[in-house]
Amino acid sequence: MATHRIAFCALLACVLAACDGERPEPVLDEIDPAVIAAINDQILTDPDLSRQNEGNAALTGGIDHALPLVNDSPRAIDAAREEARALVGGRDRFRRLPSAGERQAEIPLESRITVTARAAYAGASQACVGSLDPGFIWAARMPAAFPVYPRGATQEAAGSDAAGCALRAVNFRTPVPLEEVLAFYHTRALDTGFTSTLATAGDESVLLGEYGGGSFALYARTDAAGLTEADLVTRGL
């Protein structure tokens, strides 16, 4: 048995060394670079990595990444609701939405195209609007009182920390129904000292509030796919 084992080891060593005493160098330039990138890249099974795929890059309009997909599975919806409940302190802590005020003027169509236009409509000065810097990073820099709705898919974001501005504007989509999203922000506003009033404007629900020189505005609607789409703007926070 020992003799056979030694012979096998010798044969294996010969194969590895190409039987000439030298181990051949791998020929890397024959490997497709795309294959190497695919091997080294993270597998996009995690929804949080979906924006890394630039397959929809033509749709980004200058934004950092391709538009992230909305996970509308029942499990994802339940998870988003649970996170929203945790942020307000529990299921029974949601405040009842007030009756919608008098119908406001319908928001011009162009205000729905970019968060920059939305920020201007929400009352930001032209100087602050002009200083807005687009990028998904601003979604993570929303004030603690008014974050992007849990697990919401940010479609566009911009912000500015220029003197006298402290402006944030983000557009996101979520499969959680419109009324629940409104209740979340209404509760966050009241719990942090803000006023909160509800009105309608065309096909949108508008939640507005202010406190200590700062303000927020939420413009939300149900889109053609049945998802809640919202523009959230904060100033002076």
Give dist(CA 184, CA 93) in Å, integer.
Answer: 10
Same domain, 164 and 86: yes
Going 199 to 120 to 171 to 185, the CA torsion angle's sign is negative
* Amino acid letter, residue 14: C
The overall average pLDDT reported for the chain is: 79
Same domain, 12 and 112: no
Q: Is the pLDDT of residue 52 over 80?
A: no
Same domain, 97 and 178: yes
- pLDDT band, very low/low/confident/very high, at 216 (cuts 50, 70, 90): very high
Residues 186-214 have a mean pLDDT of: 96
Contact 77, 228 (CB under 8 A): no
The residue range of the domain holding 16 is 2-51
End-to-end CA distance of the chain: 79
- pLDDT band, very low/low/confident/very high, at 102 (cuts 50, 70, 90): confident
Q: Is the pLDDT of residue 197 over 50?
A: yes
* Amino acid letter, residue 104: Q
Same domain, 46 and 75: no
Same domain, 45 and 77: no
Same domain, 29 and 88: no
Give dist(CA 87, CA 164) in Å, integer.
Answer: 29
Same domain, 130 and 214: yes
Would 60 be classed as within a structural domain? no
Would 148 be classed as within a structural domain? yes
Residues 193-208 have a mean pLDDT of: 95
Would 219 be classed as within a structural domain? yes
| Better-predicted residue by pLDDT, 231 or 6 | 231
Same domain, 6 and 92: no
Same domain, 202 and 117: yes
| Better-predicted residue by pLDDT, 204 or 105 | 204
Would 59 be classed as within a structural domain? no
Per the DSSP assignment, residues forming a β-bridge with 159 are 133, 168
How many distinct structural domains can be found in the chain? Answer: 2
Would 220 be classed as within a structural domain? yes
What is the per-residue pLDDT for 67? 63
**Residue of 169, 141, 165 whose CA lies nearest to 155:** 169
Would 154 be classed as within a structural domain? yes
Same domain, 159 and 81: yes
Give dist(CA 151, CA 41) in Å, integer.
Answer: 24
Same domain, 212 and 160: yes
Same domain, 45 and 108: no
Q: Record the pTM.
A: 0.73
Give dist(CA 78, CA 178) in Å, integer.
Answer: 15
What is the per-residue pLDDT for 108? 77
